[in-house]
Amino acid sequence: MITLGIETSCDETSCAVLKNTDKVLSNIISSSLFRHKPFGGVVPEIASRHCLEQIDTVFAEALREAKTKAEKIDLIAVTEGPGLIGSLLVGISFAKALSYRLKVPLIGVNHLEAHLSANFIGQKEPAHYIGLLVSGGHTMISYHKRGKIPVLMGSTVDDAAGEAYDKVAKLLGLGYPGGPVMDKLAQTGDPSAFRFTKPKQENRFGFSFSGIKTAVLYEVQKESAKKKAGEALSEKFIRDMAASFQYSVTQWLIEKTLDAAQYKKVKDVVVGGGVSANSRLRSHLVEEGRKRGILARFPDFKLTLDNAAMIARRGVELFRKGKRSSLSLTGIPNLKMGAK
Ligand code: KG4
Ligand code: ZN
């Protein structure tokens, strides 16, 4: 079975061709990140315009690289939400037109669920597992049982983990996006240089990252006050802060995720989203999970960021469960995990 995946939920335009559930024949991604950098974050109008400009070329390139033709496509899976409405509608309109023209089924896919499904390309989905979704817009723990609708156990009450990385990077003058550069700097800093208090939460499986961001701001202000006007923060301060911030954020994510797995008595944890590329989260969740008999899985690095291969993989799962979307499919900007 050949599935075409289409992803246009934010600043990426992506088309992928997936054979069955295991062979990614192509996964083309055109990012508009460079256009947003001067603004320090994604500008919705620029993102949707980029999707519109790129979608035809990205689709053609995906077919070319997969050495296939549009007529060979059996199923079209497209991101339905959550995301920016302008961007979502570009992919959805394209998918609907193609589905009508080729007379093949169409499936709207939840982007959050798809991030976790990136782990199941070439792997069987475990019978039940805890999902940890960590991206620029979302941080949540969910419970998944095969054939059932996912259940949200907890999410962030304010900033997402990736958003906190991006905001702290901005405070340290590191540019956007902050995650990758902070992760790199953290590896040569002292993680015990600064201590951050773990936020108190009503929900045992919930998160909050705005407090740590403010704590970093105070430390930066204190450090800047010691310097002459206009003098930059020292490299040591930046490295130590990156390491301490990374230690706290990843440790909170790890502890709550493993706690959720033990609470639900499951042996598998599946991680997805941009922050799943983080080196400390990857190594320590695997290590600490192993000590408790829990297997933590992460997607391939190239599947951690937004991409259409994960949309195609989730589309196949839903197709097998009998899901189909009609041509009235539309974008749902605030679509929740397990909502459909
Ligand atoms: O999933 P994603 O591509 O987009 C959203 O759907 O939000 O995630 C992007 C986020 C950004 O906030 C970025 O800073 C973060 O993922 N990120 C990282 C790393 N690589 C990307 N955060 C921490 N460590 C990383 N290595
Ligand atoms: Zn995403």
In the 3-class helix/strand/coil scheme, how is the chain assigned residue by residue? Answer: CEEEEEECCCCEEEEEEEECCCEEEEEEEEECHHHHHHHCCCCHHHHHHHHHHHHHHHHHHHHHHHCCCHHHCCEEEEEEECCCHHHHHHHHHHHHHHHHHHCCCEEEEEHHHHHHHHHHCCCCCCCEEEEEEECCCCEEEEEEECCCCCEEEEEECCCCHHHHHHHHHHHCCCCCCCHHHHHHHHCCCCCCCCCCCCCCCCCCCCECCHHHHHHHHHHHHHHHHCCCCCCCCCHHHHHHHHHHHHHHHHHHHHHHHHHHHHHCCCCEEEEECHHHHCHHHHHHHHHHHHHCCCEEECCCHHHCCCCHHHHHHHHHHHHHCCCCECCCCCCCCCCCCCCC
Cβ-contact 27, 302 below 8 angstroms? yes
State mean pLDDT over 301-330. Answer: 96
pLDDT (average), residues 236-244: 98
Answer whether 77's CB lies under 8 Å from 5's CB: yes
Instruction: Please state the rounded mean pLDDT for residues 52-71.
Output: 98
pTM score, whole prediction: 0.93
Rounded average pLDDT over 229-244: 94
Q: Is the pLDDT assigned to residue 336 strictly greater than 70? A: yes
Is the pLDDT confidence value at 340 over 70? no
Euclidean distance between the first and final Cα of the chain, in Å?
A: 24
Cα 49 → chain centroid: 22
Q: In what order do the strands lie in the sheet with 128-134?
A: 151-155, 139-145, 128-134, 268-272, 295-297
User: Is there an atom of ligand 1 within 6 Å of 183 CB?
Assistant: yes
Name the closest-CA residue to atom 2, ligand 1: 274
Q: 299 CB less than 6 Å from ligand 1?
A: no
* Ligand 1 centroid from CA 67, angstroms: 31
* Mean pLDDT, range 114-141, rounded to an integer: 95
Of all protein residues, the one whose alpha carbon is nearest to atom 3 of ligand 1 is 305
- Ligand 1 close to Cβ of residue 162 (< 6 A): yes
162 CA: nearest ligand 1 atom: 12
Distance 297 CA to ligand 1 centre (A): 17
Question: Which tokens belong to 31?
Answer: 């990012």
Distance CA 156, CA 38 (A): 28
pLDDT of res. 176: 84
Q: What separation in Å is there between the alpha carbon of 12 and the centre of ligand 2?
A: 9
pLDDT class for 175, splitting at 50, 70, 90? Answer: confident
Rounded distance from Cα 179 to ligand 1 centre (Å): 6
Q: What is the dihedral of CA 282, 284, 288, 291, to 10 degrees?
A: 80
Q: What is the pLDDT of residues 252-296, one digit of tens each?
A: 999 999 999 999 999 999 999 999 999 999 999 999 999 999 999
Please tell me the distance from the alpha carbon of residue 196 to that of residue 112, in angstroms, as a whole number: 29
Cα of 273 vs centre of ligand 2, distance in Å, is: 5
Instruction: Look at ligand 1, atom 8, and give the residue with the nearest C-alpha.
Output: 274
What is the total residue count of the chain? 340
CA angle (40 as vertex; 38, 41 as ends), nearest 5: 115
Give the pLDDT score at 229: 83
Out of 170, 275, 283, 284, mutate this one to test ligand 1's pocket (max ligand atoms within 8 Å of CB): namely: 275
Q: Of 144-148, 199-203, 336-340, which range is least confident? A: 336-340
Q: Span 155-174, mean pLDDT? A: 96
pLDDT band for 1, please (50, 70, 90 cuts).
very high
pLDDT tens, position by position, 146-157: 888 999 999 999
Question: What is the mean pLDDT of the segment spanning 103-109?
Answer: 98
Compute the average pLDDT of residues 208-224. 96
At position 195, the amino acid (one-letter code) is R
